[in-house]
Structure 1
Amino acid sequence: MKAIVNTARGAAAENLHLLDIERPEPAPGEVRVAIRASGVNPSDCKLRSGAQGPMVADQVVVHNDGAGVVDAVGAGVDAARVGQPVWLYNVNRSPDGVGQGVRGTAAEYVCVRAALAAELPDGIDFDLGACLGVPAMTAHRALFWAGSLRDKTVLVSGGAGAVGHAAVQMAAAAGARVIATVSSDEKARIAAEAGAEIVLNYRQGDLADQIVAALGAKSIDHLVDVDLAAHIDMLPRIMCSGGTVGAYATASNLTPAMPFYPLAMSNIAIQPVFVYSLSQAQKDVAISDINDFLRVGKLKPRVAARFALSDAVQAHEAIEGNSLIGNAILEI
């Protein structure tokens, strides 16, 4: 079968290769999926580049997310699953989710533990299914870790990015009033169409001032944050007492300082989110909710670019060049 294999850390053009490798057979407890689309996430690019550690094997098939059809099952798996459309997550991770694995969805076939193949609801195409794993599951955990959002005011930073876009849609579907931040007019339009009532351009003046002007001080019940370091100092000003934060990245400073007492005085709770190492119970809740949102049309990932499997290098370069607003996939 054909697959995109990473052979060393570094640039995509030098270290991603389209190879013919042996088609895998499912072990006990596994399903084999004929892949139709493979999601390409920023985290996949960071792994390949070396930003998150050395190679775990001489050859690694890349990508965590994907969608396709179960075509074989291992011992102990219900044979009725053969023919089932599924979406995949955490494929390119170690069993505990903390490290990288050697399997990936950038291939014609992949074998995964049965739990990593979630049913794809009727009417949802494979392209959209390939965009659910990292972005939608991250957004779900960052949104709902502290409970219901009904009638709450939710701020989503980076509301047009893959995670932020999913978070805006799910928060609105859950009955929240959604505020989003963006960096351009085009991204503002995308966030508004996703369900954001108010969209603020953080490049057009101090963001905390903009939030207070639009909503008042201490007006945000919950924040889904793409850059905790950039926003942590303003939390005591914008968050209500008992407010909650789901932070899934902190790119501007990997070790942000915390204004402990101002946060403590308002009992603001911050939950870091690393989607790969969530408990299976947390993943199961996310899968169920995501599929419910899909079924009723409340969640629709934005596919910004489609590439052929042979064009995986270009897909990685497009993500690293920040030229896409939304998700990238490889069609297989």
Structure 2
Amino acid sequence: MKAIVHHGSGPADVLQLTDRPVPEPGPGEVRLRVVVSGVNPTDWKSRSGGYGAVDDSEAVPNQDGAGVVDAIGDGVDGLTAGDRAWATLAAYQRPTSGTAQEFTVVPVERVFQLPDNAGFDLGAGVGIPAITAHRALTIAEDGPARLRPGALGGRTVLVAGGAGAVGNAAIQLARWAGATVVTTVSSSAKAVLSRAAGADHVVDYTTQDVAAAVREVAPEGIDIVVEVAIGANAEADLAVLKPLGTIAVYANNGDRPFAPEVRRFMGLNARLQFVLLYTLGWDRLRAAGDDVNAAVAAGAFRVGEEAGLPLHRFALEDAAAAHRAVETATVGKVLIDVTPAT
């Protein structure tokens, strides 16, 4: 089978097209014929050594993907050969199980049946972004642990960077769950995308005073902040956060230092929650994936420019270009076409 591999860490050029044997599923495992592979920032950061040294053994990149269940191992329930499915964290602690190959084998708990109304592009586009957004929206002290219609009713959510993949997912999931959503962007084009995702209010942080603009549309303050750049945004977040509010931090884009002002956080009885899926635990990951599937089935979670998330397609042999696109902050979702849909 065709596969993209790399040996050790490095720039995107270390990714090479090669042939690998088709893997066999063991007990509790599922083999997926990958139709579309999704590329996330975590994929290029892992490939480049951003999470620490990578040895020279063979690795296949990309954590997210969607396709067709091809074979199942002993003890697998709930999936059968021929089912359409999406997978996430495919390569976590399994370096050769990434989705940038025609077939991959992953544990069944990482695989979710694709709703009938969803295509493979959507399946490859949920995964890490949507589950990250779900986690950020469900960690408030007195908030829901699961999302469903009405779960966030009466709450106001601020999504920093609403045109990003996680920001887009947070907008869609928060709106589905009944929240009022405010988001920040850096351009008029990104504002259009954020409104397409469903944001109620959009603030351009390059031309507006964020705290003043947010307070104007949410005078009582923000219940949950979904934060992509805590170093740059901490001051504004504190200025708009309600007492007992939560700032859920899933990234620090720009790498500006973050030194929490302890007394101000204490004064608000604020919760500062960091989010990383790899150590979240499979029970929470499964619950989040199930909630995301419910939103997808309800037509409340979509991809594409009409949903605020433009798609950028690459062939499997162009995986290096796909990684570079994500590494250079291309707006939208980067997808790799691996095998034909039928």
2:168 aligned to which of 160, 165, 168: 165
Equivalent position of 2:114 in the other structure: 120
| TM-score when normalising by structure 2 | 0.91
Q: Which piece of structure 1 moves more, 283-292 or 76-85?
A: 76-85
Percent identity of equivalent pairs: 40
How many angstroms apart in 1 are the aligned matches of 2:260 and 2:136?
19
Within 5 Å, give how 1:153-232 maps onto structure 2: 153-216=156-219, 219-232=221-234
Equivalent position of 1:129 in the other structure: 123
Matched, 1:291 2:290: no
Query: What displacement does 1:236 show?
Result: 3.0
Matched, 1:105 2:99: yes
**1:107-150, Cα deviation, whole Å (9 max, x unpaired):** 00000001111111112111110011111110110112222421
Change (3 A) 1:254 1:58: farther
How many angstroms apart in 1 are the aligned matches of 2:257 and 2:279?
20
1:278 aligned to which of 267, 280, 292: 280
Equivalent position of 1:325 in the other structure: 331
Query: What displacement does 1:102 show?
Result: 3.3
How many angstroms apart in 2 are the aligned matches of 1:154 and 1:273?
16
Judge conservation of contact 1:303–1:329 (CA < 8 Å) in 2: no
Deviating beyond 6 angstroms after TM superposition, the runs of 4 or more aligned structure 1 residues are none
Within 5 Å, give how 1:31-46 maps onto structure 2: 31-46=30-45
Judge conservation of contact 1:57–1:102 (CA < 8 Å) in 2: no
**1:244-302, Cα deviation, whole Å (9 max, x unpaired):** 12110113337511111111111111110001221122112111110110011100133
Q: Amino acid of the residue matched to residue 272 of structure 1?
A: F
Query: What displacement does 1:229 show?
Result: 1.4
**1:179-235, Cα deviation, whole Å (9 max, x unpaired):** 00011111101111111111001111432233234433x511111111111122233
Equivalent position of 1:256 in the other structure: 258
How many angstroms apart in 2 are the aligned matches of 1:79 and 1:318?
36
How many angstroms apart in 2 are the aligned matches of 1:43 and 1:242?
31
How many angstroms apart in 2 are the aligned matches of 1:198 and 1:254?
26
Matched, 1:84 2:83: yes
Judge conservation of contact 2:12–2:48 (CA < 8 Å) in 1: yes
Equivalent position of 2:52 in the other structure: 53
How many angstroms apart in 2 are the aligned matches of 1:41 and 1:242?
32
Matched, 1:240 2:242: yes
Runs of 5+ in structure 2 lacking a partner?
145-151, 304-308
Runs of 5+ in structure 1 lacking a partner?
95-99
Change (3 A) 1:79 1:257: closer
Change (3 A) 1:74 1:303: farther
Aligned-residue CA RMSD in angstroms?
1.6
Q: Amino acid of the residue matched to residue 262 of structure 1?
A: R
2:153 aligned to which of 147, 150, 155: 150
